[in-house]
Structures are given as C-alpha cells and as structure tokens.
C-alpha cells in the first residue's frame, strides 16, 4: 500500500496546476512536495528589480482562472506571485502541500510497482509521480577563473540581494538575456558605474506594455468573455510567430522591427554596432523592452561587447584584456535549462537516473513520459518550449494528458511508454527542428544541450501540441496488469 496515489514534486505554476487538475479529475489521494516554505517557483525566487512576465498576462495565466485586475499588460513579479497564491488558495492547494519537503532522490521499485521518494522529511511512496521541479529553476553559475576569490558582493539575478544598496557602487553585470534586460534599466540610475558584459547582442523588440485603465479592468470583471477574446487574440498572434520561426527567411522580415527599434533608440554609431545582433531573430528567446537601450546610453553605463574572461579580488577582466575595478558582480547567466537538477534525482526501472539515461540530450515522448520510467510524468519536459508563447499553454495541455493517463493507470499496476514510440517521436521532432531558426539561426542558445542538440523547443505550433496531448493513447504504452503487482509482491 503506497502513501499516496500520486506525488507532485514542485509547487510552481506546473505543480499547482497539477494539484488542481487531479482534484477536478476526482484523484484526491495526492500530495504536493515543495522544498521551500511557500508556493511560487519562478515567481517566488526571481525578485530582481523590474522582474515581470514577457508574455501578456491575459495569456500568462491559467485559462480557468482569468484575472481581470492585472495592473499592466505585462504584470510585475509581485502581482504574478500574488495571483499564483490566490489561485492555489482558492483550490485548497496549500492544504495538500508538504512545505520544506525537498525530494532528494526517487527510485522506481519494480517489485512493488511504486515510486519511493527520499525527502528531507522522510521517505514517501506513491504509485505515480508528476515531476514539476521547474525548467528554469537552478541558476547557472559560469565557470569563470577567479570567481570564487572575488572579494566584493556577488549574486545571481534569481537570488537578488535586497540587503545591498547599489547606490554609487561599481557593478559588473554578466549576461544580456531576459533577466538582464529587465533589471539593467532599473539599477542603471543608481549604480555609480555599470559595466555590462555582452557575449552576444540580443534582439530587442519594443514592448507593448502600459498600465491597464480602470475601465478596461471593469469590463474584464463584468464581461469575462472580453478578456477571453483578448487572450485568444494574443494566443493566435503568437502562433503566427511560431510558424515564422520555422522559416529563418520569415524571421529576417520580423527582424526589420528589431533593426528599426535599435536605430531609433541608439544614435551613437559605435554603440549601435556593438548592440547589433549577428544571428537571426528568434534563434534565442525574444526580448521585449522600451527601457533597455535608453539605459545603455547613460554616462555611467558601459557596454563591453565581449565575454567576461577572468575575475580578480576586486576587478573583472573581459576578452578585450581591460581590467575594470568593481565591487559588485551580478550574474544574469540563466538557468540549468537542458540539465535540470530533478533529472539527476529520479532513477528508473533499470537503476539509471534520467540524467544518465539522457547522456546530456534530454528526450521524452511529447515532452512528458520516458521509457524505463514507469508511472512518471515530466512537466515542461524536453522539447516543449517555444521561445515566445505562454508556459500555461504547455502546462494545461500536459495536464489534460497526464490526468487521462493517471485515470487509465487506476486499472493497471504500471504504464511505460514504448521505447520505440519515444524514439520515433524524438526523431520526428529533431527532423522538424533542422533548418528552423532555433537550430540554424546562427546563435548559441540555452535551447541547445551540451551535445549541441535542440532539447528545448517544440518545432510545431502550440495548437498542434494541444492536439497531440488532448488524447492519451494506452496502446503507446507497455502495461503491467494490476494482478502482476500482487503476484510479484506475494
């Protein structure tokens, strides 16, 4: 007898969504395990100045919990975190959560046909697990010579040091991705000197952001259909972008907006040259900002168009060989996206972890199930991202599939995707990615794993993904009948 039918690992939008979906499907015997003392994931951890979503909030929210009160088109972090907690509260998720319960390891027990999780609060067993540890959870700390000997303040953007007043400080920011372009404009005015180390200049498009007027909020409150129409409109516009991303030639046309934005915002020829990307737009995650380019033109800001090479006790040295004295280093170097820590913790039927099975190139059937890992479901698993649309589209599509699978599992001891089904699907995904802007756009992005294979992107539209995940097909799975479990245990 297991402790629970299902254990959900992680209390971000995926895990909370899973808890709600299970309840709706009548699966009541579950617990959510969260290592922190609070739900939230991404939005609990990323509290840097200027942190906000980069997909309009009307789409960056659960479809079953539209929120009429977003203050802006792109809501700030605190509002998103408050939304997350209120939805979780409404669906009684905190009551089903074990806080401060970190999963240290998980192993499939073939004899008992169950998962055994070792956690910081003791062992737990379940028939199935939903791994929702987050695709962008563990900050990536670059291996920079001398970094550990730096004597000033050092932190990652996802672990912002709010005790530190940046006023007048000499700051080095490493990285120019989604987080940096949000916080650099916020701190540039306070820092004494800010050196921004840019290995690759990103494409930055204008951000169609503004406060949402009271009248519009009232409309959304009283006529929820209006917000749903807005959500659908945003969704379909982003779908068009997805179609374009399959064809670099189309993206080069969209790129003209990026070129015009840069030309209008940056007058200085040399700076403009340094900020001009050398890859096709879409190859990396799209960035939106109206304040990034103006911030880079401040007197106290220097764009160093080189990677950082070395850190000394009180200075940093770029690939240009220049030593710049700094007292603070902020790492905006992203996350372990294609090598999430959860993959090192979960051991399948053959005793290997996901990480060992993947050998650096994650793969899963429709990003969700993996051969040799029975009764296990990955949230936002390999090749489910898209670089432009909302994670909620993926999360909700997956949950439809997973709840069907869990209901089917009630009649069996275990289900495990056929190795050949997974292999054929994976080959098809990789074939479809060849020649797309993500693979052939001329950039080095976190979409590519350590073997240079694209392990992050779903090559077709999210509409296609939703269709594929709308129907769980047991024929694609090896099934161990319920009675074999009893026989094995006897």
Ligand X SMILES: Cc1cc2nc3c(=O)[nH]c(=O)nc-3n(C[C@H](O)[C@H](O)[C@H](O)COP(=O)(O)OP(=O)(O)OC[C@H]3O[C@@H](n4cnc5c(N)ncnc54)[C@H](O)[C@@H]3O)c2cc1C
* Residues that bind ligand X in the complex, under the rule CB under 6 A: 9-15, 33-36, 40-42, 46, 51, 53-55, 60, 102-103, 132-137, 179, 342, 379-380, 390-391
- CB of 42 vs ligand X, minimal distance in Å: 4
Cβ neighbours for 131, distance < 8 A, ≥ 6 positions apart: 9, 10, 342, 346, 376, 377, 378, 379
CA distance 118 to 98: 14
Residue number, 12 or 277, with CB nearest to ligand X: 12
**Sheet harboring 323-325: ordered strands across?**
308-311, 315-318, 323-325
Nearer to ligand X, 173 or 413 (CB): 173
3-state secondary structure of 247: coil
How many degrees, rounded to 5, is the angle at CA 203 between CA 169 and CA 381? 95
Total residues belonging to the chain: 490
**First CA to last CA distance, the chain:** 13
Three-state secondary-structure class, residue 376: strand
Q: Which of 40, 282 has the CB closer to ligand X? A: 40
CB of 269 to ligand X, least distance (A): 32
Choose between 61 and 280: whose C-beta lies nearer to ligand X: 61
Minimum CB separation from ligand X for residue 106, in Å? Answer: 9
DSSP class of residue 110 equals T
* For ligand X, the closer CB: 50 or 318: 50
CA 338 to the chain's CA centroid: 10
SS3 assignment, position 250 = helix
CA distances from 455 to 147, 264, 373, 392, 470 (A): 29, 36, 19, 19, 22
Long-range contact list for 97-101, CB < 8 A, 24+ apart?
A: 97/11, 97/19, 97/31, 97/32, 97/33, 97/34, 97/39, 98/31, 98/32, 98/33, 98/34, 99/34, 99/36, 99/37, 99/38, 100/34, 100/35, 100/36, 100/37, 101/33, 101/34, 101/35
**Residue 409: which of 15, 29, 14 has the closest Cα?**
29
* Nearest residue to 455 via CA among 383, 400, 375: 383
Pick the closer one to ligand X by CB: 17 or 318: 17
- Nearer to ligand X by C-beta: 326 or 457? 457
Number of H helices, E strands in the chain: 15, 20
Minimum distance, C-beta of residue 206 to ligand X, in the bound complex (Å)? 16
Residue 89, φ and ψ in degrees, nearest 5: -60, -45
CB of 162 to ligand X, least distance (A): 16
- What is the closest distance, in whole angstroms, from the C-beta atom of residue 182 to ligand X in the complex? 7
The angle formed by the CA atoms of residues 54, 60 and 66, to the nearest 5 degrees, is 145
Q: Return the number of the residue (125 or 297) whose C-beta is nearest ligand X.
A: 125
Q: How far is the CB of 388 from ligand X (least distance, A)?
A: 9
State in angstroms the smallest separation of the CB of 431 from ligand X.
26
CB of 32 to ligand X, least distance (A): 9
Give the residue with the Cβ less far from ligand X, 42 or 315.
42
The stretches of 128-204 forming alpha helices (DSSP H) are: 178-187
Taking the least distance from each CB to ligand X, the nearer of 146 and 206 is 206
Minimum distance of ligand X from residue 80's CB (angstroms)? 8
């Amino acid at each position: 007898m297991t402790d629970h039918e299902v254990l959900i690992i992680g209390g971000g939008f995926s895990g909370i969504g899973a808890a709600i979906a299970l309840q709706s499907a009548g699966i009541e015997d579950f617990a959510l395990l969260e290592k922190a003392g609070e739900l939230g994931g991404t939005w609990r951890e990323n509290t840097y100045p200027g942190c906000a979503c980069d997909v309009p909030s009307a789409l960056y929210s659960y479809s079953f919990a539209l929120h009429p009160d977003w203050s802006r088109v792109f809501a700030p972090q605190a509002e998103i975190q408050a939304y997350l907690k209120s939805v979780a509260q409404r669906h009684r998720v905190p009551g089903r959560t074990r806080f401060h319960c970190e999963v240290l390891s998980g192993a499939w027990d073939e004899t008992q046909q169950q998962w055994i999780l070792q956690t910081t609060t003791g062992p737990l067993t379940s028939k199935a697990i939903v791994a929702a540890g987050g695709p962008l959870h563990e900050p990536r700390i670059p291996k920079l010579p001398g970094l550990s000997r730096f004597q000033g303040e050092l932190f990652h953007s996802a672990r912002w040091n709010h005790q530190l007043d940046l006023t007048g400080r000499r700051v080095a920011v490493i990285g120019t991705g989604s987080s940096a372009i949000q916080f650099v404009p916020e701190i540039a005015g306070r820092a004494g000197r800010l050196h921004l180390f840019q290995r690759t200049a990103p494409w930055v498009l204008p951000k169609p952001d503004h406060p949402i007027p009271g009248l519009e909020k009232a409309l959304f409150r009283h006529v929820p259909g209006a917000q749903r129409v807005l959500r659908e409109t945003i969704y379909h516009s982003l779908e068009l972008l997805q179609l374009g991303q399959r064809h670099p030639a189309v993206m080069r046309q969209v790129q003209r907006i990026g070129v015009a934005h840069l030309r209008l915002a940056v007058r200085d020829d040399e700076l403009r040259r340094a900020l001009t990307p050398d890859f096709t737009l879409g190859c990396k995650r799209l960035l939106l900002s109206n304040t990034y380019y103006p911030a880079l033109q401040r007197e106290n800001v220097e764009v160093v168009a080189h990677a950082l090479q070395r850190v000394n006790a009180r200075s940093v040295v770029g690939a240009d060989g220049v030593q710049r004295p700094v007292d603070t280093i902020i790492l905006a170097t992203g996350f372990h996206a294609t090598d999430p820590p959860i993959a090192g913790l979960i051991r399948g039927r053959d005793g290997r972890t996901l990480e060992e099975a993947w050998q650096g190139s994650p793969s899963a059937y429709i990003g969700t199930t993996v051969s040799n890992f029975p009764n296990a479901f990955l949230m936002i698993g390999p090749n489910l991202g898209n670089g432009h649309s909302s994670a909620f589209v993926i999360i909700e599509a997956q949950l439809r599939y997973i709840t069907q699978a869990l209901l089917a599992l009630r009649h069996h001891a275990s289900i495990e995707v056929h190795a050949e089904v997974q292999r054929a699907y994976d080959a098809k995904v990789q074939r479809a990615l060849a020649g797309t802007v993500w693979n052939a756009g001329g950039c080095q992005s976190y979409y590519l794993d350590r073997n240079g294979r694209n392990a992050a992107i779903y090559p077709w539209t999210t509409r296609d993904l939703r269709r594929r995940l709308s129907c769980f097909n047991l024929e694609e799975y090896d099934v161990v009948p319920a009675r074999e479990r009893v026989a094995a245990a006897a």
